[in-house]
Amino acid sequence: MTAIRTVSTTPFPDQQPGTSGLRKKVSVFQQPHYLENFVQALFDTLEDCQGQTLVLGGDGRYYNDVAIQTILKMAAAAGFGRVLVGQNGLLSTPAASAVIRRHKASGGIILSASHNPGGPNGDFGIKYNINNGSPAPEKVTDAVFERSKSIDKYHILAREAVALDRLGETRFGAMTVEVVDAVEDYAQLMGELFDFNRIRALLTSGQFTMHFDAMHAVTGPYACTIFEEQLEAAAGTVMNGQPLPDFGGGHPDPNLAHAKDLVALLNQDNGADFGAAADGDGDRNMILGRGIFVSPSDSIAILTANAHLVPGYRAGLTGVARSMPTSQAVDRVAAQLGIPCYETPTGWKFFGNLLDANIVTLCGEESFGTGSNHVREKDGLWAVLFWLNILAVRGQSVAEIVHEHWAKYGRNYYSRHDYEALDIDAANGIIEHLRASLTQLSNRSFGGRQISIADDFAYTDPVDHSVSQHQGIRIGFSDSARIIFRLSGTGTEGATLRIYLEQYESDLAKLHLDTQDALADLIAIATQLAEVKQRSGREAPTIIT
């Protein structure tokens, strides 16, 4: 009989999960008892682990392999009956959600810091998804944090590591560890949603070229299987397809700054017709056409407008949802389709209740995340396949589809300015300054624009009526322009201030301006209102998307 050890410990004060779980530097997780404390706090919070099925996997970043073995030993000690773990410890975040749902697991632990850098000096993360495949709601993460503040012991199985390179079952104390094909369930689900025959015909026509940059992250095996094997795209279509613990020294964030090689391939005169990238754990995506970048806000709007062309959504959409800082482009499509559009706080967990209640079908966030009711996470490869399905049916280029969309619905010029690694006190000071100014801002004019709304966004969930306060400072103008200020919860160093800027334009002669030029006056107003330079010392954003 394998022994279960009880280990004495003391609490760590910094184990409060953010919008996507607990994220810290690898060195923080490597502290003795740090990971174990958090996992035990989670297991103590769950109602009943006895005999339950748990899903486990991660994005393959540094420390993933060590953490998985620790969690397996603690899951056995907690009384779980079975753990489904991805082969070699890999599971993309959307695939983990799909496995939870398909196998009716009680929940899952996903090891990832998403789009954050990896390696020994990089970031690590852990989050829990509940039995519908959705990230744990705030009532769960708050309870875990409370438990972490008083924990004094954890329980762990005393035995050697289990091999994760071969498919099959292994007895692990009284628990069964089943190593599953990380790609199989997910690829089958994609085949059920999209017209693979039509996409295959496009990719093998000799008239269409594409590149997918897996950024040496978890989507490499998924993309190679789906694009190059099942859809028969040319060998080499998938770039950087081998997952590496440090993501090849790169930053696995699919945006114009961190996927420069892909962007260059699409911006050549004879560049590829289509390009896409996914992030560290596979839930974010970037969409490119020859010479054009599709903003995530435009992408969810275009997917909504064209959903009837895709088999899995041909029956119609019940509604759509977007995070509050995401542009209102999808709102205009929803209005024309006669379906509701919900505005939620940032964080995919806020879409879960809407999806479970079947009052929305598609969801999107400006932070390069789109998804649907097929799982309860945003899904990078799903978005790429959705675009390929639309391109195959419409027979047009990405640029033609985007430009026709703007001509029909107007264009929501949109940008996000990130000030990364700010001093925490300075960042909090900016938000507190804005919050204190709200009552004085209504009906004031700046740069010829009149403010019509100034508030600190609060969200009441229409399903369970829970309330989430302080979700971002909103400044709205009478011409429908918006500026949003919020602090990000996904970083691990200092604080990140995000400023979102949006201006609607319906004049056909003004639909093709440079985005930063179109938003120049709003940018000036935003920096004036927030007193960014005075309070942080920063002259310019770290990154603009």
Could you tell me if 483 and 380 lie in one domain?
A: no
pTM over 0.85: yes
Cα 468 to Cα 127, 347, 455, 461, 464: the distances in Å are 20, 12, 14, 8, 12
Q: Last residue of some domain: 161, 182, 203? A: 182
SS3 labels along 69-119? HHHHHHHHHHCCCEEEEEEEEECCHHHHHHHHHHCCCCEEEEECCCCCCCC
Could you tell me if 169 and 201 lie in one domain?
A: no
Residue with tokens 């996507």: 20
Find all residues with CB under 8 Å of 69, minimum gap 6, and list them: 161, 162
Find all residues with CB under 8 Å of 249, minimum gap 6, and list them: 119
Could you tell me if 235 and 297 lie in one domain?
A: yes
One DSSP character per residue, 244-273 reads -TTGGGS----STTT-HHHHHHHHSTT--S
Asked if residue 188 belongs to a domain, the reply is: no
pLDDT for the residue numbered 490: 59
Could you tell me if 258 and 402 lie in one domain?
A: yes
pLDDT for the residue numbered 421: 87
- State how many domains the chain has: 3
CB atoms within 10 A of CB 524: 12
Q: Could you tell me how many residues make up the chain?
A: 545
Could you tell me if 538 and 506 lie in one domain?
A: yes
Cα 368 to Cα 58, 193, 254, 520: the distances in Å are 20, 21, 8, 23
Q: Last residue of some domain: 408, 428, 462? A: 408
pLDDT for the residue numbered 118: 95
Could you tell me if 119 and 208 lie in one domain?
A: no
Asked if residue 187 belongs to a domain, the reply is: no
Could you tell me if 167 and 299 lie in one domain?
A: no
Which residues in 226-284 belong to E strands, given as ranges? 238-239, 274-278
CA distance 120 to 129: 26
Could you tell me if 177 and 198 lie in one domain?
A: no
pLDDT means per 10 residues in the chain (545 residues)?
A: 89 91 96 98 94 97 97 98 97 97 97 94 96 92 96 96 96 96 96 98 97 97 98 97 96 90 92 96 96 96 98 97 97 98 93 95 96 96 98 98 98 95 91 93 88 95 93 94 87 82 96 95 93 88 88
Helix (H, G, I), strand (E, B) or coil at 48: coil
DSSP 224: I
Domain that includes residue 154, residue range? 4-182
- Whether the Cβ atoms of residue 87 and residue 182 lie closer than 8 Å to each other: yes
pLDDT for the residue numbered 48: 86
CA distance 362 to 331: 12
- Whether the Cβ atoms of residue 316 and residue 400 lie closer than 8 Å to each other: no
Q: Last residue of some domain: 138, 159, 182? A: 182
Phi/psi at 462 (nearest 5 deg)? Answer: -70, -10
Could you tell me if 26 and 67 lie in one domain?
A: yes
Asked if residue 189 belongs to a domain, the reply is: no
Say if strands 449-456 and 473-477 run parallel, antiparallel, or are unpaired: antiparallel
Helix (H, G, I), strand (E, B) or coil at 183: coil
Residue 476 sits in a domain whose CATH number is: 3.30.310.50
pLDDT for the residue numbered 141: 94
Distance from the Cα of residue 216 to its chain's centroid: 17
> In angstroms, how far apart are the furthest CA atoms of the chain?
76
Distance from the Cα of residue 153 to its chain's centroid: 33
| Structure tokens, 344 | 């939620």
CA distance 205 to 110: 38
| Structure tokens, 472 | 């971002």
The single residue of 20, 92, 106, 114 carrying the catalytic annotation is: 114
CA distance 286 to 274: 11
Q: Is 442 a catalytic residue?
A: no
Asked if residue 379 belongs to a domain, the reply is: yes
pLDDT for the residue numbered 291: 93
Could you tell me if 337 and 396 lie in one domain?
A: yes
Residue 75 sits in a domain whose CATH number is: 3.40.120.10
